[in-house]
Amino acid sequence: MERQGVISFAQFMETALYCPKVGYYERPGAVIGREGDFYTSVSVGPLFGRLLALQFSRWLKDQPAGAVQLVEAGAHDGQLAFDILERLGSDRPALFARFKYWLLEPSEGRRQWQQRKLEKFAGHVCWASSWEDLPPDSVNGVIFCNELLDALPVHRLAWDAASCRWVEHGIGIAGDGFAWRRMDDSGSDWERELLDAGFEFSPELLAALPEGFIIDFCPSAGEWWRRAAGALNSGRLMTIDYGLTAEQLLAPQRSGGTLRAYSRHHVGSDVLTNPGEQDITAHLNFTQLRIAGEKAGLSSEEIITQARFLTRVATREWQGKLPTPSELRQFQSLTHPEHLGRAFRVLVQSRQAAPPVD
């Protein structure tokens, strides 16, 4: 900022969250759960991972004989991987014997956390720091992430009604803190990029858009999904996250964008204070991901709420038996519309295995 005057919010957000020295997600100690800043489905208890394990085992049965892979990106401390592996190891030993669990993790610090957490599964777990480190024959199985893509850096775009174009707003220094600054020439063709991400702007809509309407746009989410789709030889690609369709993101009630910060279980709109000390997130554009996957040759299976997704899995899991009181409490938190059930959505895309060559 001292050199340039203004930087993009995406650069500010990336530094605040992922800087190896001061980034929020590199901090030791709890940032998730009762002692942290926010709850996730994983912090509710092990049921979430157990239900995912059940669904993954059904998907993996569709794979041809031979080695299969589960690839989790954004595993944080490895707790979800632990819950999934624990369930598969105890209930699906034949499947457990033929698969590897890959964690896609660029952070050395988080890899160390995960290695400690998953020590008992050492023979089944591998790490990759980038997509290039995954198996050379690509992935046959499932690639998934949970609450990862909503924390990728976003660009803040505001509608300039006078010039009929989208203008980026970046961050500059203001006294001892930071402030929003207009970037009249950021060097990007935002109109084209928004169109590619599924935003459809009819002349009538553009005429009605109020001055300063905000879209928090994440090109890196679409790029991440494109690369994940490219790594999937056969199987499913899935994300569970906060998000909406492109059409829903243009609703009048979202004229201020979806950026927010979490600290000590309080949500706020001031994302510029205390960088590195609070979580920053924005709603995912599921239309953008769907388009990116389909362009890479994937078939879209569904975009549904977490409540519906987990209810369907749990119905099969508990058929003919009752859940324990602990499982029931966890399930209610995971599916209740005022907790996690409606806020999170699940996108699943797939690629069928190529038929064998005669």
Q: What is the domain count for the chain? A: 1
Query: How many whole angstroms separate alpha carbon 322 and alpha carbon 325?
Result: 9
The pTM of this model reads 0.93
Query: Are residues 348 and 302 in contact, defined by beta-carbon separation less than 8 angstroms?
Result: yes
* CB hemisphere CA count around 70 (13 angstroms): 28
Task: Establish if 189 belongs to a structural domain.
Answer: no
Task: Establish if 172 belongs to a structural domain.
Answer: no
Task: Establish if 356 belongs to a structural domain.
Answer: no
Tokens (6 digits) for 342: 């409606």
**349 beta partners:** 237, 300
Q: Report the DSSP pairing between strands 165-174 and 177-183.
A: antiparallel
Return the pLDDT at 29.
63
Return the pLDDT at 111.
93
Return the pLDDT at 57.
94
Which residues, 6+ apart, have CB-to-CB distance to 212 below 8 Å? 158, 159, 255
Domain holding 106: CATH number?
3.40.50.12710
Task: Establish if 211 belongs to a structural domain.
Answer: no
Blockwise average pLDDT, block size 10, the chain, 358 residues = 92 95 80 63 93 95 83 94 95 90 93 94 94 85 96 96 94 94 86 96 92 97 96 96 95 95 82 93 97 97 95 91 92 84 90 67
Q: What is the 3-state secondary structure (H, E, C) of the chain?
A: CCCCCEEEHHHHHHHHHHCCCCCHHHCCCCCECCCCCECCHHHHCCHHHHHHHHHHHHHHCCCCCCCEEEEEECCCCCHHHHHHHHHHHHHCHHHHCCEEEEEECCCHHHHHHHHHHCHHHHHHEEEECCHHHCCCCCEEEEEEEECCHHHCCCEEEEEECCCCEEEEEEEEEECCEEEEEEECCCCCCHHHHHHHCCCCCCHHHHHHCCCCCEEEECHHHHHHHHHHHHHEEEEEEEEEEEEECHHHHCCHHHCCCCCEEEECCEEECCCCCCCCCCEEECCEEHHHHHHHHHHCCCEEEEEEEHHHHHHHHHHHHCCCCCCCHHHHHHHHHHHCCCCCCCCEEEEEEEECCCCCCC
β-sheet with 266-268: strand ranges across: 266-268, 260-263, 279-281
Return the pLDDT at 26.
86
Question: Residue 136 is part of which domain span?
Answer: 33-150+218-243+284-351
Return the pLDDT at 204.
92
Task: Establish if 53 belongs to a structural domain.
Answer: yes
